Every structure is written in C-alpha cells, then in structure tokens.
Structure 1
Amino acid sequence: MRRFAFSIILLAATGLTACKPEAPRPAVRGQSALDIMEKVAVAANRCWFKSGDAAFRTYQLSPELSSFSGRPRILLVRKGSRDDRPVLVVQAEGTPPRLDAFGPLLNENVAPRIRQDVVRWANGRNDC
C-alpha cells in the first residue's frame, strides 16, 4: 500500500529527465512536500556527500527547504565553480505533494542511481 501510494514520487526515466513536471498523483496521508524533501535532503547529504561518494565528489548540496514558493527543494551545484546554476534540482510541491527532478546530471551515468535513491528516501527509507 505504501509503495503504491508513493507512486507520486516514482521517478520514471521519462518523467525524471523531462523538464516539465509530471501531473499530480495521490499522496500518502500526512505527508507534505516539506516532509518528503526533508527526508531526501538528509539522506542525500549523508549518503552522497558525507560518505565521500566518488560519484558526487565534484558537487555540493544546497538545500532550499524553507521556500516561500511552496516548493522545498535541494540543488546540486558544481563545487568551487562560479557558475551557480544547479546540475540537479529535486523538489516537491502541491497538495497532494508531487516530486520532480530535473537538470543535466540526469543525462549522466549516475541518473538511474539518483532516481532510485530519491524514490527510496522519499518513501521513508534512509539506507544508502
């Protein structure tokens, strides 16, 4: 049931690589966009960055969870670059919440792993 309910964040390859957000889908009761993104941000920081994961070594995490736009999100930007444009944006919005991800990093070899990690973390698991 929980797995079905979190189909809202099933980041299928076609939906995740597209720049336009997917249509809203049913959400798990009691979960807000902020709740989902807090889980994703904490796990991404721990699993991708604090662990020293080689796939993310050249990036840094920039969480923007306190958003007045109603779209809490995390950004991955190139570490030490003057170009502040994110290479990955993962955000949630709406009621029921909808999770979207986009950016050029999703065209790289690490994209399937990013999708799997984000879906797993949004579903409440915190394993790397």
Structure 2
Amino acid sequence: MRAAAFIRFMATAGSVAFLTLVAGCQTESPPAPASNTAALATMERVALGANACWFKSGDAAFKPYRLAPELNSFSGRPRILIVKRNSPESRPLAVVQAEGHPARLQAFGPLFSETVGARMTADIKRWAAGGTGCR
C-alpha cells in the first residue's frame, strides 16, 4: 500500500513540476487584440463618435440635423444618415457606409460640400481608424 501511495505522490509531484516549467516559458501577457476592422464594428465606432461629438454635445453646426443610424443592414453595408431634424423622412444630407473586412468606407451627400464637410471627413477617418474623442 505504501509503494502505491509513493508512486502516486511522485506522479503528482512530477506533473506539478512539469506544469510549473511550462508556465515559466509562457509570455507575461498575450498581445492586445487589434481593433476590429469589420464594416459593422467600424460603423459602430463612427456612429458613437458622431452621436457624442456632433449631436449630444450641442454643436451648433449640427443643430439643424439628426443622426439616423442604420447599422443592422442585411445588405452588408451598415450606415449612418444625417437628415434634417424636422424632416427625418426626407432625403439624407450625408451618408456614411462601410462594407467588407477590412471595412471600405464611403461618405457622400451635399453636407460634405458645406463648411462642416472637411471636419466631418476628418472625424470619420479618425473614428474609423479606432480614434476616439471630439475635436
């Protein structure tokens, strides 16, 4: 009986020593995952940034408009629309959409040719690349 207990003890001790050796060879922490570059994840970041920086902040340049996100797209092209505040059913003044992995963005509409258009383009590029915050 003593020999069997000794053998089990040695097998357990050997297993613990092996696991300790393997654990010592592991890196300290896994590398950080890259930001998701799929179309939906990219458009979610853009929508959150636009909502926070352009609309929720009370930015005067965007007072006449409203954000209309359409992220649940069955076409594989999630998008956000900027429409007139008092006429959301009218034609969008700006459309930002993405498709693919990595996402290919498109932004178009008459609002991009207005004075706020350059700022919108810079913000959208920053948010799409993973940046946060308002300028």
Shorter-normalised TM-score: what interval?
A: 0.7 to 0.9
Alignment correspondent of 2:17: none
Hey, which of these two has a bigger chunk of helix by percent?
Answer: 2
Percent identity (aligned): 58
What secondary structure is seen at the aligned counterpart in 1 of 2:98?
strand
Q: Deviations over 1:22-71 (max 9, x none)?
A: xxxxxx88420001000000010000000000110000000000000000
Alignment correspondent of 1:55: 61
Alignment correspondent of 1:7: none
Alignment correspondent of 1:39: 45
The answer to whether the aligner puts 1:66 opposite 2:77 as a matched pair is: no
Larger radius of gyration: 2
TM-score where L is the length of structure 2:
0.71
Alignment correspondent of 1:92: 98
How large is the RMSD of aligned CA atoms in angstroms? 1.5
Structure 1 pair 73/82, CA: closer, same or farther in 2 (3 Å)?
A: closer
Query: Shift of residue 123 of structure 1?
Result: 1.1
Equivalent residues of 2:66, 2:88 under 8 A apart: no
Structure 1 pair 93/52, CA: closer, same or farther in 2 (3 Å)?
A: same
Alignment correspondent of 2:114: 108
What is the rounded CA distance, in whole Å, between the counterparts of 1:48 and 1:95 in structure 2? 27
Structure 1 stretches of 5 or more lacking a match?
Answer: 1-27
Higher-RCO chain (CA-CA 8 Å, sequence separation at least 6) = 1
Report the count of equivalent residues.
101
TM-score where L is the length of structure 1:
0.74
What secondary structure is seen at the aligned counterpart in 2 of 1:116?
helix
**Structure 1 stretches of 4+ moved >6 Å:** none
